[in-house]
Structure formats: C-alpha cells, structure tokens
C-alpha cells in the first residue's frame, strides 16, 4: 500500500493535527524507529498546551487529565472490549471499563496490524463512526491513532481495505538519518559517546541480520544509552552484536590516546583523523560546558582545526546541555561566537 512518507521529526506535528481535527491517523514504519515514542511525546505536549495533567493510567480518566490510552492490539480480543452481558433471556451490549466515557485523550492502538481480522472488524466503527455497537460512543475530546510495523519488517496481518480506508491520515515513517536522529538524541539526554560513535559510523544506526532481524535500531540505541549511563560501558557487549560492540569499545579506547584537557586549553593540537576527533568529542563537550570562558579561548585556536561536522555536534552539545543558557546570552563575546557559528552552518545544519 502506498502511503505518504514522513520523517520521525514531523510525526509529532501530524499527531497534533489529527487531534485538532478529530480525524483518525494510521502510522506504519520500521521496527524501533520511534513511532510509539512520538505519539507519547505529542500527547504530553497536547496536555501541556491544554494545561491538563498527562496520564497513561487506565483508571484515571477524568476531566482534569489528558490521557494516552495504550491498547496493544496483540493483547486483546473482541471479548475483552465488547462484552455480552446476560439479562434474563437475552444478551445486552456492555463494554470494557477502560474505554473512556469522559475527558480528553488519544486511544492509541499500538501494534495495530498484529490484530487479527475479528479485532480489525471491531475497530471499523470506532475509527470512522466513533462508536462500537449501538450504545458506546467515543467522547468528543478523544481521537484514535493506530501504529504498526511494515509487512517488510515484521509478521503482521494485512490491514483490511475497508478499515484502511477509514483512516483520513495515513503515513509511513522513514528510518531517520543519523543527522535527524542526532537532533533528537542531543535534546533527549542520549549518552554523548553513542552520539559520537554513530556520527562516525553512520551505518550502525540500523543494522539487520541476514535473516531480517533488527540488530540495532534508534530505539535500541536509546535503551543502550540508559544502561551504560547507569551500569557502565562494560555492559555494551551484552546489548550489541559482537563486532559492533568491539568497535564501540575500541572507539572509546581511542580517545584515551589524547589529553583532551590539554586540547581544550590549546596546549596540544587537535588530532587530524576524523574518527579521532569524534572519539574525543564527548570529553571535549564536557570541558566546554563546565568552562564557557575557557571555550572562548579554545574557539580562537583549536576549534578551527575540528572537522565541520564535529564543530556542529560540539556546539549543539554546549547549547543544549549547558545548565544556564543565560551564561551564553549575557556574555557578548560568547553570544557573538555562537551567532557566527549559526550563520556559518545554518544552511546545512539546524541549530536551535
């Protein structure tokens, strides 16, 4: 099925448009690309805009909250949602308690195309007519968003054509480039060593085995980052294929050849090779963030010796991770330095 191709960075905006227009949205894309995370981030931002509490709690749907109701299609069957309750000699309609009766939010049908045909039929009315059976009505403040993997990436059921047609918004999410992923990663606390590694080895952002299994994905790198921050770099061998794990360790070890503090202080030269510059980037970022006055001196000499891509990553790290941005804004020299960098590179890189 042909669908509009969108970047993961645009997906949040589309979820918001879907909510504002109250029209259903279908999202398909590769495994681990960030579909579910983007829907959550969009829901959280909608809650903030509406001055409501954000919640994912099935039991706390009320008028003070904006709720993301995550219904994993693979975990439910028709009888879990549409119930038949005996009353005398007849069966009356009843519906699962977790279906919303008030408030505002998103019913998120995740892993949507893992639902068999009977569940897909149940979704027909909910998605187009905003009801199930004759007695359940989806409240006005709610929409339905569905997400699933592409048939090329997972064993999924075909989405029945009448159901597919019920989604006004239908998009396929593209696997992000390393540059696009880096934009997100820097703003979301991903470990600097992983960001530097993937910018040096672009091909490792998403690797598949010969039989089609995803060995690395953007989601997996995010999870790896959380673990090595908490448990240390030694855990990397249990989370990556052996060859990539060894390259990652070698990349980290490479930085130990250099005295990064002396490079920061212009007492030693910047290494010439690209991989060596990427390897020192995490430590160099830390020195710059901790000593912005020192960065002004570094900028006048050694900064100029860095590769352009490394310069941009360094500046992004500083701007996004410095505790007090007023230190940059209120220092005329620093502000002029960053303004010049933005002007020099804004054609090629997005700088906030």
Contact between 117 and 157 (Cβ < 8 Å): yes
Position 60 in a domain: yes
Domain contains 17:
yes
74, part of any domain: yes
- Model confidence at 120, pLDDT cuts 50, 70, 90, reads confident
Residue 76 has a pLDDT of 62
Residue with more model confidence, 235 or 150: 235
Q: Is residue 350 part of a domain?
A: no
Alpha-carbon torsion, ordered 280, 282, 283, 286, to 10 deg: 150
Asked whether residue 48 is assigned to any structural domain, the reply reads yes
Residues 164 and 192 in one domain: no
Q: How far apart are CA 346 and CA 343, in angstroms?
A: 6
* Boundaries of domain holding 259: 178-345
pLDDT class for 87, splitting at 50, 70, 90? very low
Is residue 151 located within the same domain as residue 191?
A: no
Residue 169 shares a structural domain with residue 197? no
Could you tell me if 160 and 212 lie in one domain? no
Average pLDDT score over residue span 31-46:
94
Specify the number of domains making up the chain: 2
pLDDT over threshold 50, residue 263: yes
Q: Would you say residue 327 has pLDDT above 90?
A: no
Please give the average per-residue pLDDT across 208-213, as a whole number: 80
Question: 286 and 334: one domain?
Answer: yes
Q: Residue 290: is its pLDDT beyond 80?
A: yes
SS (H, E, C) 199-262: HHCHHHCCEECCCCCEEECHHHHHHHHHHHHHHCHHHHHHCCCHHHHHHHHHHHHHHHHCCHHH
Q: How far is Cα 37 from Cα 35, in angstroms, rounded to an integer?
A: 6
Is the pLDDT at 4 greater than 90, yes or no?
A: no
Query: Which CATH number characterizes residue 147's domain?
Result: 3.40.50.300
Q: Which of 127, 151, 173 is the last residue of a domain?
A: 173
CA distances from 294 to 97, 233, 289, 318, 340 (A): 60, 29, 9, 13, 18
**Residue 92, pLDDT above cutoff 80:** no
Domain-embedded: residue 351: no
- Model pLDDT, residue 99: 80
136 and 206 fall within a common domain: no
**167 and 190 within one domain:** no
Q: Are the C-beta atoms of 154 and 30 separated by less than 8 Å?
A: no
Of 138, 173, 208, the residue that ends a domain is 173
* Pair 12, 154 in one domain: yes
Residues 35 and 158 both lie in one domain: yes
Same domain, 198 and 339: yes
pLDDT (mean) for 22-29: 94
Average confidence score pLDDT of the chain: 86
Q: Choose between 341 and 157: higher pLDDT.
A: 341
**pLDDT, position 306:** 94
Q: Does the pLDDT of residue 27 top 70, yes or no?
A: yes
19 CB-side CA count, 13 A: 26
pLDDT at 43: 97
Of the listed ranges 31-45, 70-84, 184-198, 316-330, the least confidently predicted one is 70-84
User: What are the pLDDT digits (tens) for 164-182?
Assistant: 888 999 999 999 999 889 9
Lowest mean pLDDT among 94-98, 178-182, 194-198, 265-269: 94-98
Is the whole model's pTM more than 0.75, yes or no? yes
Kindly state whether residues 148 and 280 are assigned to the same domain.
no
Residue 92 in domain: yes
In a domain? residue 352: no
**Domain final residue pick, 173, 197, 215:** 173
Specify whether 209 is located in the same domain as 160. no
């Amino acid at each position: 099925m042909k669908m509009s191709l969108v970047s993961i960075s645009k997906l949040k905006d589309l979820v918001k448009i879907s909510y504002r227009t109250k029209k259903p949205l279908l999202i398909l894309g590769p495994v681990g690309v960030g579909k579910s995370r983007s829907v959550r981030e969009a829901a959280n931002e909608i809650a903030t805009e509406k001055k409501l509490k954000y919640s994912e709690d099935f039991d706390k749907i009320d008028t003070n909250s904006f709720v993301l109701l995550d219904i994993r299609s693979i975990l439910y069957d028709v009888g879990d949602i549409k119930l038949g309750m005996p009353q005398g000699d007849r069966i009356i309609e009843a519906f699962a308690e977790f279906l919303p009766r008030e408030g505002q939010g998103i019913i998120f049908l995740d892993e949507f195309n893992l639902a068999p045909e009977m569940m897909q039929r149940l979704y027909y009315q909910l998605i187009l007519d905003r009801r199930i059976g004759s007695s359940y009505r989806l409240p006005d403040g709610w929409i339905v968003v569905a997400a699933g993997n592409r048939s090329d990436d997972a064993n999924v059921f075909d989405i029945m054509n009448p159901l597919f047609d019920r989604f006004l918004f239908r998009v396929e999410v593209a696997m992000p480039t390393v540059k696009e992923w880096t934009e997100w990663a820097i703003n979301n606390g991903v470990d600097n060593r992983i960001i530097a590694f993937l910018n040096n080895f672009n091909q490792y952002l998403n690797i598949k085995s010969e039989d089609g299994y995803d060995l690395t994905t953007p989601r997996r790198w995010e999870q790896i980052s959380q673990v090595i921050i908490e448990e240390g770099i030694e855990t990397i061998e249990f989370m990556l294929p052996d060859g990539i794990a060894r390259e990652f360790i070698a990349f980290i070890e490479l930085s130990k050849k250099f005295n990064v503090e002396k490079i920061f202080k212009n007492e030693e030269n910047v290494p010439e090779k690209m991989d060596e510059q990427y390897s020192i980037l995490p430590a160099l970022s830390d020195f710059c963030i901790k000593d912005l006055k020192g960065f002004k001196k570094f900028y006048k000499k050694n900064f100029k010796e860095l590769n352009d891509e490394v310069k941009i990553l360094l500046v992004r790290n500083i701007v996004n991770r410095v505790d007090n941005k007023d230190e940059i804004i209120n220092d005329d020299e620093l502000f002029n330095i960053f303004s010049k960098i933005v002007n020099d590179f804004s054609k090629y890189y997005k700088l906030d």
